């Protein structure tokens, strides 16, 4: 499964601690940013190997789910190395990538402009954006309600968001197999190809995510309508979409 795109006292190794307690608040922000600076050079390689290239199809579906006119201005938040930005360009949109990790931005291979910024404090006027994409980053953010509120501020009424994340299959047998792969195999692959601590963090980071119902409720509270939560590839990934409601 893709490693989390970026978002404490600074850690000497640039990776998250292996203790049972996951970091929260500003400590989490600093630790995750340092981790992504560390894994940026081999980020794309590890993603392709761990997902058997399924992540490519998930990103294409994410862009299609925006359902926006050609030429729409779309922010790709926690853009990492720019895979979603590249897909947005191919689909005829005008993407701008935003990430907190200098390492990820330096490793990006995309024609889209890139901005170093905190996705909880987007450097755009209210209602200036047609749409937002975000891939595998929700669990790494400091606070989801604040993030959704910032999306509601930045996206125009009628604009769209499409948020891609990891998930657990609802089928008990598939869930058991996924738990072994995600919890045991993925950290080994990531450790061999990149930073071991980062890929031990990956399966544990799922615990940051609310339930599907909880996430949809947060979006509604922020001002989004027609929110959907769709499982992909028998439930190992999820796609959350919504439309910015009319103001007033």
Residue 81, annotated ligand binder?
A: yes
Q: In a 3-state reduction of DSSP, which class is residue 205?
A: helix
104 closest CA partner among 133, 81, 134, 84: 81
Q: What is the 3-state secondary structure (H, E, C) of 117-149?
A: CCCCCCCCCCCCEEEEEEECCHHHCCCHHHHHH
Helix axes 186-193, 196-205, angle to 10 degrees: 150
Residue 44, annotated ligand binder?
A: no
Find all residues with CB under 8 Å of 6, minimum gap 6, and list them: 32, 33, 35, 36, 37, 78, 80, 99, 100, 101, 104, 137, 140
Q: In a 3-state reduction of DSSP, which class is residue 184?
A: helix
Instruction: Say if CB 152 and CB 224 are below 8 A apart.
Output: yes
Residue 55, annotated ligand binder?
A: no
Instruction: Say if CB 222 and CB 148 are below 8 A apart.
Output: yes
- Give the sheet arrangement for strand 155-166, strand by strand: 114-116, 94-99, 73-77, 129-135, 155-166, 237-244, 224-232
Interatomic CA distance for residues 239 and 52, integer angstroms = 19
Q: Which residues belong to the annotated binding site?
A: 81, 99, 118-119
Q: Which residues belong to the annotated binding site for S-adenosyl-L-methionine?
A: 81, 99, 118-119
């Amino acid at each position: 499964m893709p490693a989390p795109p970026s978002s404490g006292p600074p850690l000497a190794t640039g990776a998250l601690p292996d203790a049972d307690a996951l970091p929260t608040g500003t400590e989490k922000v600093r630790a995750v940013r340092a981790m992504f600076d560390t894994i940026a050079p081999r980020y794309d390689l590890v993603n392709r190997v761990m997902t058997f290239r399924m992540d490519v199809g998930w990103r294409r579906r994410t862009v299609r789910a925006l359902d926006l006119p050609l030429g729409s201005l779309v922010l790709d938040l926690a853009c990492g190395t720019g895979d979603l930005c590249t897909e947005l360009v191919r689909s005829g949109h005008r993407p701008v990538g935003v990430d907190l990790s200098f390492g990820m931005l330096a490793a990006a291979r995309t024609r889209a402009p890139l901005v170093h910024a905190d996705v909880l404090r987007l450097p755009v006027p209210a209602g200036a954006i047609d749409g937002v994409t975000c891939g595998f980053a929700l669990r790494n953010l400091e606070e989801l309600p604040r993030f959704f509120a910032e999306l509601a501020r930045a996206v125009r009424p009628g604009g769209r968001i499409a948020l891609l994340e990891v998930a657990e299959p609802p089928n008990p047998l598939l869930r058991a197999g996924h738990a072994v792969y995600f919890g045991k195999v993925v950290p080994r692959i990531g450790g061999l190809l990149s930073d071991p601590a980062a890929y031990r963090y990956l399966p544990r980071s799922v615990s940051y995510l609310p339930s599907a119902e909880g996430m949809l409720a947060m979006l509604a509270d922020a001002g989004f309508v027609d929110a959907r939560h769709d499982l992909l590839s028998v439930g190992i990934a999820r796609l959350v979409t919504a439309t910015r409601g009319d103001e007033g």
